[in-house]
Amino acid sequence: MKIAVFGLGYVGLASSVLLSQKFEVVGVDVLQDKVDMINSGISPLKDDYIEKYLKEKDLNLVATLNADYAISDADFVIVSTPTNYDVMTNYFDTSIVESVIEKVTQKNPNATIVIKSTIPIGFVNEVIKKYNNTNILFSPEFLRESKALYDSLYPSRIIVGYDINNEKLKKKAETYADLIKQVALKGNIQVRYMNYGEAEAVKLFSNEFLALRVAYFNELDTYAEKKGLNTRDIIDGMCLDDRIGNYYNNPSFGYGGYCLPKDTKQLKANYKDVPEMLISAVVDSNVRRKEFVANQIFNLAKKLQKDDNQIVIGIYRLTMKVDSDNFRQSAIQDVITLLKQKGVSIIIYEPILKSKQFEEIDVCNDLEEFKKQSDVVVANRYNKEIEDIKEKVYSRDIFKRD
């Protein structure tokens, strides 16, 4: 069994490592540095399990830039390439996904294509017609950043979308799900088979619900902060109810990262001709939260400012999560934009940045100097490194966890 995986971000790399425990896997990316690292047993991404498996396990995995080599005689081709949200079209940019589908259709039409990239509802049916290829499955992933392989080894469920009227494709859907079950460590994995549209909707509505939880507890925290109430006591009291549950409830500056911002906007766009209020409200709530946070930071800075010089606000880390090396679309970046509009000076402490500037903002990676220069230090996620200046730290990290 040969499996080709296009796109070696979190989803693609986790899938490659997972499946290469038992099957031949060829991973395809466009970055030579990433390919070289993987082939040397080094993870290009911060993920404890991926790092451990690449270093210690005997994996049948080769990374390459050569798409044709990967496609030739592959039984399954997994597509996990990016689908960024295009604000001009209100639609995911699916061009890279489509280019892989087109290439596979031309080079190896017998290969079963498994799309894992997040896509709009109705996408698979459109590309089936466009490329005249019915040999396509959609199997969304539900992975956390920096825990992608762990979540692949212990999946919450396996969802496979296919044309339920196609008996031949049904067998391929079952074969694919069985491949995952063979290499996962979790037993009794729940598997659900359904039509394409329903599978596409499962992914978008799942992320919408997670974004809703984040937005809900952020709005709770906004109210508590404005009214002088203890956020932690309120959340602790609520979450003792099993129906609510003690998860995804730690306030932040807003949901961010690669998935939730774009997926909530895409689902909102999918509702174009459908009555709704809640779906749009989640997106709007996230914007309002960042505006509130920026105002709170600015007001605190004015209160703590020691002289009449320009206010200096220090940003402690751009990353969205603890132990992450990714700050793509992190909420703090929108907060920075809002603060810049208020005319303050901003400096950033981000040790993974090697340059002296980020988006024309000075980077100071001497932590002690950073603390001295800052009138207020802003931390989306708290760290004991800044405990000694806690009186001038602004953070809504109530539980000190993601």
The C-alpha atoms of residue 185 and residue 291 are separated, in whole angstroms, by 43
DSSP 362: E
Catalytic annotation present for 364: no
Q: Which of 210, 259, 267, 301 is catalytic?
A: 259
What is the torsional sign of CA 125, 127, 132, 135?
negative
The C-alpha atoms of residue 127 and residue 114 are separated, in whole angstroms, by 13
The C-alpha atoms of residue 12 and residue 115 are separated, in whole angstroms, by 11
What is the torsional sign of CA 382, 388, 393, 396?
positive
- Which tokens is 130 given? 């466009």
Q: For residues 380 and 320, is the Cβ–Cβ distance under 8 A?
A: yes
Q: For residues 172 and 135, is the Cβ–Cβ distance under 8 A?
A: yes
Given the DSSP bridges, would you call strands 158-161 and 191-194 parallel, antiparallel or unpaired?
Answer: parallel
Phi, psi of 235 (to 5 degrees): -65, -45
Catalytic residues: 259
